[in-house]
Structure 1
Amino acid sequence: MSASDLAITPPATRQVVVETLREEASVWLFVVKTLIAFFLTGWLAMRFALPAPSTAMLTTVIVANRQSGMVLAKSFYRAIGTLAGATAAIAIVASFPQQRDLFLVALSLWIGLCAGGATLYRNFKSYAFVLGGYTAAIVAIPVIDNPPGVFDSSWARISEVLLGLAVSGVVNDVVFPSRMRDVLRRAAREQFSHFVAFVRDSTRGRMARETMENAHLRFVRDAVTFEDLRSSVIFEDAEARARSGHLRLFNQRFMAASTSFQSLHHLINRLKRAHRDLAADTLVRLYAPIGAALDAPIDAGVVARELLPRLATARESLRAQRSPLRASLTDTQDIRDFDTGASLLLRFVDELYAYVDAAASLQAPRVIAASGERVRFDRGNDFLGAGLATLRTTLTMLALGAFWICSAWPLGSSAMLLATVFAGLFATIPNPTRVTWMVMLGYLSGMAAAFVCEFFVLTQVDGYPLLVIGIAPFLAIGLVMMMSKRLASYGLGWAMGLAYILALKNVQVYDPAHFINDAIAQVVGLGAAAVSFVVIPPAIGSAWLRRRQLARLRGQVALAAEAPLPGLRHRFESVNHDLVSQVVAQTEPGSADSRALIAWALAVHETGRALIELRHDMARADLPTTLRPYLTEALRTLARFYEKPDAPGYLLARDAVATAIASVGEHEGVRHLLDHLHLVRMALLDGESVLAAYMPNAPLAKEIVHAS
């Protein structure tokens, strides 16, 4: 080992030790805060003489999270789900007070609908649906033989849940809070600095396709992660709520600029591959001022405000250089390629300026009045997959309900309650069968620990302080495992099993026979949920759903070609990014499915945005009557080809675009439409894109690459 190695080793070791200690401190801080919330909630519930303090205490375990904002967001949606579930329970009991069969059918259908609704969201809104079903069950099932008691039951459950939420929120906001706003700010800085640096470093021109694919995945993850963080941070931070509109605008402008950036580099790459080096190099020269404008330290602080005047100067330089550079070209094809690229480059620099301007407004110390532009992040939901989750959960509840009625099982309600929780909770994850079984094993372990705790520890103590000392070590084991990636599901099952089976009350009853029977019922409910995922596999993570999502992604071109124009840019970008993020999360990195998705995503982003810009220019232009049918036909055939790609559809789309280009060329006043049409044509003829599979092998495909 050299002297230099010895000099480097200690700092590296110290860094590892510091990071390890920081992570351990974070884990134990989470455990301590959760234990405080758990036992403080139990003490208050007993002081208020609530019927089931254990329900309030279990709530604190379910909403536990390291980040204060996550706890508050989860609590907010749990409160909504609880109120909705209690209302549904009252309605179901009122509708079928003396008809047990119809009561269970209605309840099962409601729980199924809630499970289906949970699959339509990727954040804590999903949790509100799960709680809507679960709360209806815990309110309605205990009063199945006493319908008038539904009001007392619903009020008790609402009081218990809201108490647990309130205590969790206060504890996490007061005891060494870990703020989500810091995570959001860091995400915004990283998104901004990475994208600006990437643009600056790419001004040399050609970019490898693999580099572009990796960049696209990074852009997708950044956009979706940022929106998920924003939707949670607004619950903990008043400034984040005030800036929520700016945050959305910042993210939407990032998506728009990144799409134009990718289209620009695809164009330059195509020109290089087609040996149109003069046109490509001229575009790179036109592109150079952007790199010079961004040649500044990209980090936190006032960098965005400093970049704005530099980008404005670069934009003016681009416009001034465009004509001289164009005049340096003599070949008609080079001029046409240059015009297409220059138009795209100017669009990109406008969007980049708007993105940097949005970043500057976020960095301002005071909240700036929002612009008139209103945006939202639309999601790419699959309602057929949600229907599958609804069917599976409904059938599971009906099967358990029928068994309960036929067997007259006294504890059948416990089985239904547990099945309700886990059938809804795990309907939203890619591999619910494995996770459910892991949770089930953890649940069994938690119940075994609870048996030891209740009958060998709690029977020996008196008073609430000693009860805390007796239970805390058992619960802490599950909470620590929840913070481990490998044991998180097992730890969740342990903590929930322990808290649920202990069923702490104001006057605790120690009945081993009831404990064991209740444990069996809960295991049956968990097992029923696990079996339901085997009998009716979930759509999430399946090849079937990936095919549907890929078809939905391709269908975004039809959206771009045919949907109403107001708000279309924002809708197109956000749904594209959400769909790609879903499929990427459900496919193995580097697999054939993953690469096919990325290839289609790049093609859809480029073509879709070109069609949207074409339609906007068509709406602003005074189109000749004879020209509109050709443009409309090009839009229609492209939409149909992307919806159902095949070789005949490809030929129709290619020829329709070529015809539209020829028709536009005959009219002087609308020549600017050619830039968008040429970009679409070059994407169609890209031999390295995903569309190459549909191209004929005839020489015509090469001959018309630059034909007008």
Structure 2
Amino acid sequence: MSAVVAPAAVPDTRHVVVETLREEASIWLFVVKTLIAFFAAGWLAMRFGLPAPSTAMLTTIIVANRQSGMVLAKSFYRAIGTVGGAAAAVGIVAAFPQERDLFLLALSLWIGICAGGATLYRNFKSYAFVLGGYTAAIVAVPVIDNPPGVFDSAVARLSEVLLGLLVSGVVNDVVFPSRMRDVLRRSAREQFAHFLEFVRGATEGSMPREAMETAHLRFVRDAVALEDLRSSVIFEDAEARSRSNHLRLFNQRFMAASTSFQSLHHLVNRLKRAKRDRAAETLIRLYAPIGDALHVPVEAGIAARVLLPRLADARTAMRNHLPTLRATMDDAQDLRDYDTGASLLMRFVDELHAYVDSAASLQAPRVIGGSAERVRFDRGNDWLGAGLATFRTTLTMLVLGLFWIGSAWPMGSSAMLLATVFAGLFATTPNPTRVTWIVMLGYLCGMAAGFVCEFFVLTQMDGYGLLVAGIAPFLAIGLVMMMSRRLGSFGLGWAMGLAYILSLKNVQTYDPVHFINDAIAQVVGLGAAAVSFVVIPPAIGSAWLRRRQLARLRGQVALAAEAPLPGLRHRFESVNHDLVSQVVAQTQPGSADSRALIAWALAVHETGRALIELRHDMARRDVPSTLLPYLREALRTLARFYEKPDPAGYLLARDAVATAIASVGEHSGQAHLLEHLHLVRMALLDGESVLAAYMPSAPLAKEIVHAS
């Protein structure tokens, strides 16, 4: 079962030139569409007589993205956050109309809760929480001295933001739209082709652990990336919405099949290391029909339909060969190894067939809605990290609020608003201090460009057409930088700083003193957000959170051993993949943290799935009551060991599993339980796994020990 390594491709000069030109065209298309949306939103806001057209214009920059689906998804959640924030602002002002201190306390707490909630979600769902926080500040802070005006303020902000979202959505959906569905389809096809090629290329023998770790990382990234894309594409495409649950099922079946695939190869590797070549080679012979079935070109559109009957025939052939190959085993230990591997192999081929069947359903011209099993992709969130984000943001807002009250600074509200925006916006990034300082530098440069634009360019022009001509070159600089991987954060700061400081209105005023005071207040707000990340470091990306996430990952074995069975397979797989994806994104590739994570992930995946299958078999079939205490003790000790691994817990778990195996072996008709327990015990005794650190002596690392 060796991995296949493709030869390095020689870059083609023509291909490089074409790709470069395509990339440049994509960048400038993004710039042009964003400029159209920016100025169209401003023109409409002025025509409708809205009090702050700049809010609608700034909204188009915040939701800007190359992909139309991303713009629509971000706009959808921004709209939800804006409505929620406006409602919260009205409630806070109504509750404390005459109590400025309590008003600021309630507002700060609301903003903090929203920042904490943003850390619990991925993609643009977190953005809705960020918007809910700073929209409340945008609505409530300006009317702190005029509480009756809060309703008008809320309606105005809602109108401006929703107008900006509507214009961005229309422009990106009409002007040379770039569809996310194409990216989603390509990602799904690549996941499918890569996994089948990997399975096909793994039929010849053992697979090195390093290759398995690399494959596991690829499987994790593929599964999480596909779910992230699916959650965005449903906003731009009706067909994608109709196939959304089928795509979730496709992804869940991929995770299940890849976990069984890993367990199978760990088993074969262990047998070979223990010099139990007869059992290993017999399992490889049993595995061979899968490789034969997959020896067809894996191309988009027809691959799954072609593969389904071939996999069905392979499964039938394997079932027919099972007793014949088993009869060649004359050693009790070889027989037990073979039975365990054969059971795992048949589980894998069933899951592989189900995965290919899901692919065939997705490739069909029409999908019948509701025909697929309803599944969900659960996430691995950390509530304590969210609490830390809540505390930090609340404290920052309270400090700024107290400073505003104590100093009676006329521009204090502007500082609070900027601190609110950036404290929430970057609460979910792995290194918010660095990102905030880079954005702040870009923001300063954008404001400097805004000063030149407003007082040296716009004062010489009249009419909206010339206003567009005067601002567009300055804004385009920031938009181009936003598309650069190295200058993206700087460009975002430039564009936001320019749009915010210009503060375009129906009747534009040119007041250098007010401009400079407002710029100082905005810098203070940005600086306060950056300092807050230094004083109270975020959990995301920290060693503290990685340790908690690793503990949560190990705790997935306890989930597998003790949680209710309905939906447990899907929950176990999706949370595992999400947790691994989070930690991998926040660790240096090849580092000790990264290697420890992968090692634990492989152990958790294998043991957890074996326990889930064991519990399902216990629930489906009659198990003698005399066996239940031994089985439950094995489940309990394994759960406790993975939650808090130590040598003593390892011995308890190892011995409990051995006792359960011996007890089950005394009862006829319980071979299905024995196979799962034997797989768990082999994983416990794997000298190359992360569990080797808890083994009492080295000899167990060299052989597979069987219960007598």
Give the shorter-chain TM-score range.
Answer: over 0.9
Distance 1:350 1:700 in 2: 33
Distance 2:700 2:414 in 1: 70
Counterpart for residue 191 of structure 2: 191
The aligned runs of 1:249-288 (5 Å cut-off) are 249-288=249-288
Counterpart for residue 5 of structure 1: none
SS at match of 1:687: coil
SS at match of 1:71: helix
Q: CA deviation at 1:698?
A: 6.4
Q: State the Cα deviation string for residues 529-562 of structure 1 (Å, max 9, x = none).
A: 0000000000000000000000000000000000
Counterpart for residue 405 of structure 2: 405
Distance 1:13 1:638 in 2: 56
Q: State the Cα deviation string for residues 213-264 of structure 1 (Å, max 9, x = none).
A: 0000000000000000000000000000000110000000000000000000
Q: CA deviation at 1:672?
A: 1.2
Is 1:634 equivalent to 2:600 in the alignment?
A: no
Is 1:24 equivalent to 2:24 in the alignment?
A: yes
Q: State the Cα deviation string for residues 143-176 of structure 1 (Å, max 9, x = none).
A: 0011110000000000000000000000000000
Is 1:593 equivalent to 2:593 in the alignment?
A: yes
Compute the RMSD of aligned alpha carbons. Answer: 1.1
Counterpart for residue 314 of structure 2: 314
Is 1:54 equivalent to 2:54 in the alignment?
A: yes
SS at match of 2:669: helix
Is 1:424 equivalent to 2:435 in the alignment?
A: no
Counterpart amino acid of residue 255 in structure 1: M
The aligned runs of 1:455-470 (5 Å cut-off) are 455-470=455-470
Q: CA deviation at 1:299?
A: 1.7
Counterpart for residue 150 of structure 1: 150
Distance 2:56 2:122 in 1: 26
8 Å CA contact retained: 1:118, 1:125: yes
Is 1:181 equivalent to 2:181 in the alignment?
A: yes
8 Å CA contact retained: 2:243, 2:369: no
Distance 1:701 1:128 in 2: 51
Q: Please, what TM-score do these two structures have when normalized by structure 1?
A: 0.98
Q: Please, what TM-score do these two structures have when normalized by structure 2?
A: 0.98
SS at match of 1:649: helix
Distance 1:661 1:372 in 2: 38
Counterpart for residue 35 of structure 1: 35
Q: CA deviation at 1:370?
A: 3.5
Is 1:298 equivalent to 2:312 in the alignment?
A: no
8 Å CA contact retained: 1:227, 1:377: yes
Counterpart for residue 354 of structure 1: 354
Is 1:655 equivalent to 2:655 in the alignment?
A: yes
SS at match of 1:565: coil
| Runs of at least 5 residues in structure 2 that lack an aligned partner in the other structure | 1-8
Distance 1:371 1:616 in 2: 24
SS at match of 1:672: helix
Counterpart for residue 567 of structure 1: 567
Counterpart for residue 133 of structure 1: 133
Q: CA deviation at 1:707?
A: 3.3
Q: CA deviation at 1:528?
A: 0.1
Distance 2:184 2:586 in 1: 25
Counterpart for residue 434 of structure 2: 434
Distance 1:210 1:261 in 2: 15
Distance 2:703 2:52 in 1: 78
Is 1:664 equivalent to 2:640 in the alignment?
A: no
- My pick for the range that moved more, 376-385 or 694-703, is 694-703
8 Å CA contact retained: 2:414, 2:522: yes
The aligned runs of 1:226-245 (5 Å cut-off) are 226-245=226-245
Query: CA separation of 1:20/1:698 partners in 2, compared to 1, >3 Å: closer, same or farther?
Result: closer
Counterpart for residue 6 of structure 2: none
Q: CA deviation at 1:133?
A: 0.3
Q: CA deviation at 1:317?
A: 0.5
Distance 1:205 1:579 in 2: 31
Counterpart for residue 547 of structure 1: 547
Q: CA deviation at 1:205?
A: 2.5
Counterpart amino acid of residue 132 in structure 1: G
Counterpart amino acid of residue 679 in structure 1: L
Distance 2:453 2:487 in 1: 22
SS at match of 1:491: helix
Distance 1:306 1:581 in 2: 33
The aligned runs of 1:329-408 (5 Å cut-off) are 329-371=329-371, 373-408=373-408
Q: State the Cα deviation string for residues 622-657 of structure 1 (Å, max 9, x = none).
A: 111111000000000000000000000000000000
Q: CA deviation at 1:700?
A: 6.3
Is 1:116 equivalent to 2:116 in the alignment?
A: yes
Q: State the Cα deviation string for residues 597-619 of structure 1 (Å, max 9, x = none).
A: 00000000000000000000000
Counterpart amino acid of residue 571 in structure 1: R
8 Å CA contact retained: 1:361, 1:368: no
8 Å CA contact retained: 2:118, 2:129: yes
Q: CA deviation at 1:16?
A: 1.4
Is 1:479 equivalent to 2:475 in the alignment?
A: no
8 Å CA contact retained: 1:621, 1:670: no
SS at match of 2:65: coil
Counterpart amino acid of residue 227 in structure 2: E
8 Å CA contact retained: 1:118, 1:126: yes
Counterpart amino acid of residue 234 in structure 1: I
Identity percentage over the alignment? 85
Q: CA deviation at 1:702?
A: 5.7
8 Å CA contact retained: 1:630, 1:659: yes
Counterpart amino acid of residue 635 in structure 1: L
Counterpart for residue 92 of structure 2: 92
Q: State the Cα deviation string for residues 278-309 of structure 1 (Å, max 9, x = none).
A: 00000000000000001000121111011000
Counterpart amino acid of residue 617 in structure 1: D
